[in-house]
Amino acid sequence: MPNDVKADYSYVEDFDLDCKDIMGLYSYLEFMVGTRFHSVIFALNVNVPCVAIAYGGNKSFGIMTDMRLSQYVYPIENFEGQKLFELLQTATSDKSIYIEKIKVYRIYLESSRKELIEKIAKIIG
């Protein structure tokens, strides 16, 4: 990158960071583009809109579809810079809608977790 552009970016390489540290860093982002879905999950967990670049398997497509965010999954084999740019523009302009979908899904997960705990408690009695 040219020096004038580098001034606006940070590079972090610290192998001692745990998942909470990483989420803390991600919380400062406007948006995230991720190929490793754990990075996308960490960003979503701190309400950062993401575009997931999907490769192999269905994890990215499945989870983002469950969250009603399937339009923000982009298959790596179809990668085009312009399409990614358009998705980022949409995620940014519709940020409040995007974040609301994250919140609704989080409520659903918490409810499902509570229900599962209650079922397990009944079984082990």
DSSP string over 35-101: SSHHHHHHHHHTT--EEEEE-SSSHHHHHHHHTT-GGGEEEGGG--HHHHHHHHHHHHHTHHHHHHH
pLDDT at 10: 78
pLDDT at 7: 80
Q: Please state, in angstroms and rounded to a whole number, the distance separating the CA atoms of residues 71 and 94.
A: 12
pLDDT at 3: 81
pLDDT at 117: 96
pLDDT at 71: 93
pLDDT at 59: 87
- Where do the domains of the chain lie? 3-124
Per-residue model confidence as pLDDT tens for the chain (125 residues): 688 877 878 788 899 999 999 999 999 999 999 998 889 999 999 999 999 999 887 889 999 999 999 999 999 998 888 999 999 999 889 999 999 999 999 999 999 999 999 999 999 98
